[in-house]
Each structure stands twice: as structure tokens, then as C-alpha cells.
């Protein structure tokens, strides 16, 4: 699509509705699809309780927000961002994320106890349960210490406690997947597939929450060119992750569906669990469309230029400013609001 066509599409989208709603719609779809997935698993595991499914879902969301957020904090933010006048922006993002992570850890502690009770009742004192407890018990205090770190961004970036928290959060995702699958089969391929499904989910929901509740509010408070460049590059790293996440969720989801329900169409159309799986296929289709529309409509962020740095007219974004920035420091007003 040419530049003028893209701008026309963005204007048309503006005329129709607030295009910055799209990332929030995507987050709502991810939340709903994960709730449906958790309900499907608890039902297939023989515990058809809505309260248990809801508690496990809250646990998964907290784990995803923490894990995906730590990925953004230590992988999508880069030291190069800090050399270009965006250190304050990164510091505010870190502080915002730490507050969110504190809430996620509280949910993880309570939800983890409920999930553990379920694993113990189904599996007894087995290695899968020990691995789950060990990783969770190690993660909670360490990540709590990491969120209390009030040093500079450079000191926090890839700090030993930060990286250890990320490693342990990933370990909890793997251990949860292993114990969940062990309840029914323990087949190593099924464990690997579930690990991929949950890792993809965690990376997506954690990144979506960071973008909406961390990056956008922090960027709107100081929309300078350095910040827009850093934010745009970080967002692009997340978008590359999503390019991997979408096919991963679809393929691992299809594998699990065929593994649990087979390939007979009637099974899907004639049971609530089957319809739930079909709803998830529809959800991933909708998310794919949103993923395509967001950059086309410049809807990834209300901070101008973050969606596509080319919009600011840089030939070399590290050195040049747009001709019409109108401010000595190259800052620009934030257009619109979400
Ligand atoms: C839209 C994005 C998606 C998200 C956020 C998501 C998330 C989840 C989550 C959190 C679980 C619970 C796993 C557990 O309790 O260990 C799950 C299970 C499941 N998901 Fe997804 N999922 C998505 C897409 C899909 C797709 C496209 C399919 C395709 C059919 C699918 C099929 C399944 C199945 C069958 C299960 C149950 C597995 C089992 O218990 O054997 N998911 N999903």
C-alpha cells in the first residue's frame, strides 16, 4: 500500500471510529480466548467448575502479564534507546511496569495456591508438582525484590535479579504446562505443545498490556522525537514477536484440539467444548485482522510516529528531525487521545 493510500485509510478509520480502540479490542479478545482455553482444559481434566476455571485464568493472566512484561523490560527496551534522550521515558515505563508486576505477583501467589491444590489432588507428590512449587516459590520473592529496585534504568536493565525473574517466570510457565498435561497424559510431545501455547500466550498478553498501560501513557507525557523513536523501535520488536505468536497459537491450538477431540466435524459442532475450540479459531482470525489493520490505520499508538517512524519524515531516524516539528528539541504535540 502506498503512503498516500495508507494516510487515506487512517483518515477513513478516524472518520468511522476511534482507531486507537483496536489494541484494546485485541487485548479483550486475547483475554476472552484464554478464559475459554482455561475452561476447555479444566473441563477436559474432569473439573467442570466455573470458579476453578476463573481462578486458573486469573493465574494465567497474571503469569502472562509478568512474563511478557519482563520480556519487554529486558529485551525490547535496549541500551541504545537510552543514549538518545529517552532515559526518562524508559524510567517511567519501568516504574509503571513494576506497579503492574506487583499486582500480578499478588494474583500469582493466591491463584498459584489454588492451582497447586488442584495439581496435588490430581497428581499427588510427583516431580511435575515439585517442579511447579519450586519454580513458583523461587519466582515470587525474587520478582518482588526486582520490582522494588529503584536504581537507574541502566542498573535495572538486564540486572541479575531482573534476568533471574524472567528465567523463573519462564520456568513457571513450563512447569505449569507440564503439570496441566500430566493430569491427563504426560505425553512429552503434548507437554512441548502446551509449553509453546502458553509461552505464545504469555508473550502476547504481556506485550499488549505493556503497550496499552505502560508505553502509551508514558509516551504521551513526553512525545519528543527521541521518545517516539525509542517507542517505535520497541513496538516493532513486539510486532515481530506477534508475527511468531499468531501461527504458534494456531498450530499448537489445532494440535491440542485434534489430540483431545479428534477430527470429526460433528464433535466440534455438537459439543460445548467443541464450539469453544471453534470460537478460539475465530478469535485468532480476528486477532490476525487487527494485527494487519493496526499499522495500516496507524492505530498501534496514539503517539504520532510510534506506529511507523517513516511518518515523521526521517531519512535517518537516529540523527534527523522532521522538517515541520516546529520545536527546538524536535518535540511534537500528541494528536488526539484514546
Ligand atoms: C487467540 C489466542 C489464544 C489464546 C490467548 C489461548 C490461550 C489458551 C490458554 C491460556 C489455555 C489453557 C491452557 C492450560 O490450562 O494449560 C488454552 C488451551 C487450549 N487452547 Fe488456546 N489460546 C488461543 C488460541 C487457540 C487456538 C487458535 C486454538 C485452536 C484450536 C486453541 C486451542 C486450545 C485448546 C484445544 C486448549 C485446551 C488444551 C487441552 O486442555 O488439551 N487455542 N489456550
Question: Residue 7 — very low, low, confident or very high, per pLDDT cuts 50/70/90?
Answer: low
Q: How much of the chain, in percent, has pLDDT values that exceed 90?
A: 68
Q: What is the pLDDT of residues 75-93, one digit of tens each?
A: 999 877 776 788 889 999 9
Q: What is the pLDDT of residues 120-131, one digit of tens each?
A: 999 999 999 999
- Give the residue extent of every domain in the chain: 47-265
Q: What is the Å distance from ligand 1's center to 82 Cα? A: 38
Q: Is the CB of 60 under 6 A from ligand 1?
A: yes
Sequence-separated (6 or more) residues with CB below 8 Å from residue 327: none
Question: 186-194 contacts: CB < 8 A, separation 24 or more?
Answer: 186/128, 190/256, 190/259, 193/252, 193/255, 193/256, 193/259, 194/252, 194/256
Q: Is the CB of 218 under 6 A from ligand 1?
A: no
Q: What is the pLDDT of residues 309-326, one digit of tens each?
A: 666 655 444 444 443 333
3-state secondary structure 218-285: HHHHCCCHHHHHHHHHHHHHHHHHHHHHHHHHHHHHHHHHHHHHCCCHHHHHCCHHHHHHHHHHHHHH
Residue 335 has pLDDT above 50, yes or no: no
Q: What is the pLDDT of residues 160-179, one digit of tens each?
A: 999 999 999 999 999 999 99
For the full predicted model, state whether its pTM sits above 0.95: no
In angstroms, what CA-CA distances link 123 with 46, 171, 232? 13, 19, 46
Sequence-separated (6 or more) residues with CB below 8 Å from residue 62: 103, 104, 105, 107, 108, 111
Residue minimizing CA distance to atom 42 of ligand 1: 253
Question: Residue 8 — very low, low, confident or very high, per pLDDT cuts 50/70/90?
Answer: low
Residue minimizing CA distance to atom 12 of ligand 1: 38
Q: Given ligand 1 and candidates 26, 33, 37, 202, which is best to mutate, with the most ligand atoms within 8 Å of its CB?
A: 37
Q: Which residue has the cell 488526539?
A: 336
Q: Given ligand 1 and candidates 114, 192, 197, which is best to mutate, with the most ligand atoms within 8 Å of its CB?
A: 197
Amino acid at each position: 500500500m502506498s503512503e498516500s493510500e495508507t494516510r487515506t485509510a487512517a483518515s477513513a478509520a478516524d472518520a468511522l471510529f476511534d482507531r486507537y480502540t483496536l489494541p484494546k479490542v485485541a487485548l479483550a479478545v486475547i483475554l476472552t480466548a484464554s478464559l475459554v482455553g482455561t475452561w476447555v482444559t479444566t473441563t477436559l481434566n474432569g473439573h467442570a467448575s466455573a470458579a476453578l476455571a476463573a481462578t486458573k485464568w486469573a493465574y494465567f493472566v497474571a503469569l502472562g502479564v509478568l512474563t511478557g512484561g519482563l520480556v519487554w523490560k529486558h529485551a525490547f527496551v535496549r541500551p541504545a534507546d537510552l543514549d538518545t534522550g529517552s532515559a526518562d521515558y524508559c524510567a517511567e515505563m519501568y516504574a509503571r511496569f513494576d506497579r503492574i508486576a506487583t499486582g500480578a505477583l499478588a494474583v500469582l501467589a493466591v491463584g498459584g495456591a489454588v492451582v497447586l491444590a488442584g495439581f496435588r489432588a490430581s497428581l499427588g507428590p510427583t516431580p511435575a508438582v515439585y517442579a511447579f512449587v519450586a519454580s513458583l516459590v523461587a519466582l515470587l520473592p525474587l520478582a518482588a525484590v526486582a520490582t522494588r529496585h529503584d536504581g537507574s534504568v541502566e542498573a535495572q536493565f538486564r540486572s541479575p535479579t531482573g534476568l533471574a525473574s524472567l528465567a523463573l517466570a519462564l520456568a513457571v510457565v513450563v512447569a505449569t504446562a507440564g503439570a496441566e498435561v500430566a493430569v491427563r497424559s504426560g505425553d512429552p510431545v503434548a507437554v512441548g505443545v502446551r509449553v509453546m501455547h502458553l509461552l505464545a500466550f504469555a508473550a502476547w498478553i504481556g506485550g499488549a498490556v505493556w503497550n496499552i498501560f505502560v508505553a502509551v501513557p508514558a509516551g504521551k507525557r513526553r512525545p519528543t522525537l527521541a521518545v517516539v523513536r525509542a517507542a517505535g523501535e520497541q513496538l516493532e520488536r513486539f510486532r515481530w514477536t506477534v508475527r511468531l505468536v499468531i501461527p504458534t497459537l494456531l498450530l499448537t491450538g489445532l494440535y491440542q484440539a485434534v489430540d483431545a477431540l479428534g477430527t470429526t466435524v460433528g464433535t466440534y459442532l455438537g459439543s460445548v467444548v467443541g464450539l469453544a475450540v471453534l470460537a478460539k479459531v475465530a478469535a485468532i482470525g480476528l486477532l490476525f485482522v487487527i494485527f494487519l489493520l493496526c499499522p495500516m490505520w496507524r492505530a498501534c499508538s496514539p503517539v504520532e510516529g510510534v506506529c511507523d517512524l517513516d511518518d515523521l519524515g526521517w531519512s535517518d531516524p537516529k540523527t534527523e528531525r522532521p522538517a515541520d516539528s516546529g520545536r527546538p528539541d524536535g518535540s511534537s504535540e500528541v494528536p488526539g487521545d484514546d
